Chain A
Amino acid sequence: MLSEGGSFIKGMLIGGIFCLVLSLLSSFSPVTESRTEEHHHHHVKAASKDELQQLSDSRLQELNNQLQVYCVIMVQPKNLLYWATALDTWTKHCDKAAFYTSESSKALEAINLKEKDDWVRLRKALKHAYENAGDIRWFFVAEPSTFAIIENLKYLVLTKDPEQPFYLGKAMKSGELEYVEFNSGIVLSYEALRRLVNVFPDEGKCPETGRALWKLSNDKQLAECLKFTGVFAENGEDVHGKDLFNSKGVESLIKESMKQNPNNVVEGCCSDMAITFSDMSPNQMQVMMFGVYRLRPYGHDFHDLLTFYPPKGSDND
């Protein structure tokens, strides 16, 4: 008995070490493989100024007019302050902003999905957005704790064809799965959303209850479903390779930059054309609104090749 127990324990130890060694050895090759993959397929940048200048004026105007964004904002009454702030600030710059809630709120109006499960709610919201898209070909999915600059989103996708599947944002990798992080906003082209909505009924590929033993987060589940339709996550970056979708707030990012680039804090920090920030308080979001759309130094012009006018019905932009 004792010798058997001893053998068992010896076996366990050796088994554990064997597994560790095996994974250490195998971990070197996948990393180099995926790095070369990343270079070619997983980054989406905005068109450069040169590329845009090659387009004719009429083509530019056509693109400017056609480019519309449908914002899908997933709200809940428990996040009322964020909901109200999103309503009052950045969502006014969406061509269509639809708020989807878990239950109705007396204070604010939204499309009531009457659904407690957040994954099912997200599916319902995306389906509803797809069915009510009209002529709109780009979709931006966010929570109200995200702050988005829709004009910069339009700039990013300006020359991208929405009839191609695009699934953009801050791309993360978990094991083998690459997904777009939810809290920094998810961009879907019309084709990507179409494929997604068509795979929803397939319980095998895209179940409502989730596939793993433990419940995967919504952004990972979304990535799994999209993977089955041949749509893969891509990281949104500016011309210098800086992230456009930020999962942190501007204060955190500046603090980090103060530690890492003390002599070049602002330029070492965030992109000038950033699209999203997350994890900011409602008040900080009001300040960002002022900072993005209003506060500026007199006499500096950018000669942008697109023109976006202020929306009706607001005075904080």
Chain B
Amino acid sequence: MAAHRCGLSLVFILILSSLACPSSCDALEKANENTGEKQSVSDTPREVNTDGSIAAEDLNERQWQSTDVEADRSDGTKDSESFTAAARDQFQEELVIRPLHSGDIYASFQFRTLWDTDFLQERQKVSHYRLFPKSLGQVLSKFSVRELHISFTQGFWRTMQWGQPFIPSPPGAELWVWFHDTVSDVDGNWKELTNVLSGIFCASLNFIDLTNTVQPSASFKPLGLGNATDHRFLRYATLPREIVCTENLTPWKKLLPCGSKAGLSVLLKSEKLFHSSFHSQAVHIRPVCQDEQCTSKAWELRQTLNVVFDLYTSGQGKKEWSLFKMFSRTLTEACPLATSSKVYVDITDNPEGELFELSPATPLLSQAVVLGDRRTYSVFDLTRAEMFGQLRSLNLLLRWKGDSGDMLRPLLHAERYVAGFGLQTGEIHTVIYNNHPYRAFPVLLMDSVPWYLQLYIHTLTVTSKSRDNKPSYIHYQPAKDRHRPHLLEMLIQLPPHSMTEVTVQFERALLKWTEYTPDPNHGFYVGSSVVSALVPSMVAMNTNFTQDQPLFSSFVPVKEESSYFVRVYTEPLLVNLPTPDFSMPYNVICLTCTVVAVGYGSFYNLLTRTFQVDEPSLPLAKRLANLIRRIRGVPLLA
């Protein structure tokens, strides 16, 4: 009976809720289902095409179709403005799989949520959230954030073995934020923002304070709309020591519209993701254009997760991988809220199928210019039901046949190390490689060094090809003890096919005993240096803004055809500092005070006393005798 009542009330609640919010999820789901069906119908005759361009056209058409459907619906249901806004919120998901030459597998997830709201009207109160996570939306409006980029990384991206990642990130946590230029107290906003984000992502971002925050003048330009150039509104901080683990992944997954229930995010199982060579998760929020003419603007939330699996060594020398092997899950459906949901597999090195065999085979191919190179991808569109076949699940399988050839050296590459011995002085060496055979290009090098390493800027040397290479721009802000770190930014011209070495000497400070970390002899981390550059491209970059670009190739805006933007992070440094003995503060206080007291005592003695001839006093017997003699009136003894 009780169960029956429960069931009734449940039905009742369901009805109520569906009445209360007719405009949100389920409506959109329906829209998606509609487009899905239509599109699968229209796509069936074209499936035989293997040409990339037609596939792209196909995508275009679908995009057009879906917006069409939405417009129809909004016309038909004569509803308020908020509904049209809801219809224009958008969610896309994407997974790119790139077999690396080292035998590792690089998987890159990107989830993109577009929030159609007029962010430029700052005082506007936003209370409606659909796909965009409310926790982040509130943060954006409360702290007047213009752009926010945060990444958590475990492991170090090996550029020389793996090539360039789609979105680079340094080991540990990195946070950089552009505030609106109406903010008066940027430091105050920044402090609060880091604390709030620390709560949202369960990370130790609250350790970001003025001692590790810098304002780079040139290295971090806004990636979204608007050309803010006043770096007073920019804050950048890294925590190279931050450990990334499950507790950071769970809140990150919660920001997704489908959570980890459906779509690509079902693959994000933490026990597999963290059993990898490299793991990086990031959130990028920026204002973007909705369309090509930029008539309307939107917030873009891009959640990325990059992971490199070392399947070669864990698979007993067999180079063979599948989605199940990597994630211990297979794909069963697209996220119902997503307008597009795709899996790309990089098959550029395997045009004829001689290197590896991919199953199930897909007829859809796509070409994209990414990181200065034209790559070919097999595309698996999860919004189409026949992708999942009879088993209702998609398990990509890749079986290697031959050995992969050598990888092209990445054009830009950097590394860093500490030279010197002992705990007094040292030297930071940053080595930047330009592997381009004939083109020279400039790079921006940014270094943020904590205050306890005192840099000596006059010892800065930049040499390439054993000749002095004077930087054309140097921005240096020296550290203030316990207040702010050193910031060194340089524009260096890298000659073609060269190695440029930047060295600067430093001195290690002795800190107060309470300023050391709990394991002081482990050393102190110094964040990665950042090398940003416009690298000459081999092929013409795509400067047009189009909706149907794959997400991975559309993150950094491309301004010119001949070059593309790359950011390379070097290794973080681990530097030992001299330590005091932590066990004896009392002893030190006592001993030093004793020495001071000895000084005081001896001076006091000499200052207050005078020299006198020592007259030894009479022995006790004589004194007693004198006492008696005095009473008797007899002369005293001498």
State yes or no: do A and B come from one complex: no
Which residue numbers of B lie inside 8 Å of A, CB to CB? none
